[in-house]
Amino acid sequence: MDTTSSLHLAQMAFPDAVPAITLAHYLFVSAAMFTMGLVGFLTRRNMIIMFLCTELMFQGAGLALIAFGRHHLGADGQTFVIFVLCVAAAEAAMALALVVLLFRHKETLSAQAWKELNG
């Protein structure tokens, strides 16, 4: 079976792309999400918000992966994203637990409260 026919077969499995929405649109959304996350992470002090911002960055990157995957008609991107989601879920559980613990110590959610953890 030659490559052209196999690519054709693969494309058959996908629904038709919306012609007006191109790869660039997806990447723009992805970049926007990532930037929002980054800016949020850098500017906010609340640990839960900061954590949510990291999740936002995660999802931005994930969106870019899916978009590229679709663009190249491969399953790799989506596969990766599923793994990333799993890891992110586990990490979220851990991180929230840590945040709860930290809150119990200092009765505040501010990251500034932990300044003494310096070198």
> Alpha-carbon distance 26 to 67, whole Å?
6
51/63 with CB nearer another protein: 51
Which of the residues 39 through 98 are near another protein (CB under 8 A)?
Answer: 41-43, 45, 50
**Residue 38 carries which side chain, given as an amino acid letter?**
L
19/119 with CB nearer another protein: 119
If one asks whether residue 119 binds another protein (CB under 8 A), the answer comes out as yes
If one asks whether residue 116 binds another protein (CB under 8 A), the answer comes out as yes
Binding site for another protein (CB under 8 A): 38, 41-43, 45, 50, 111-112, 114-119
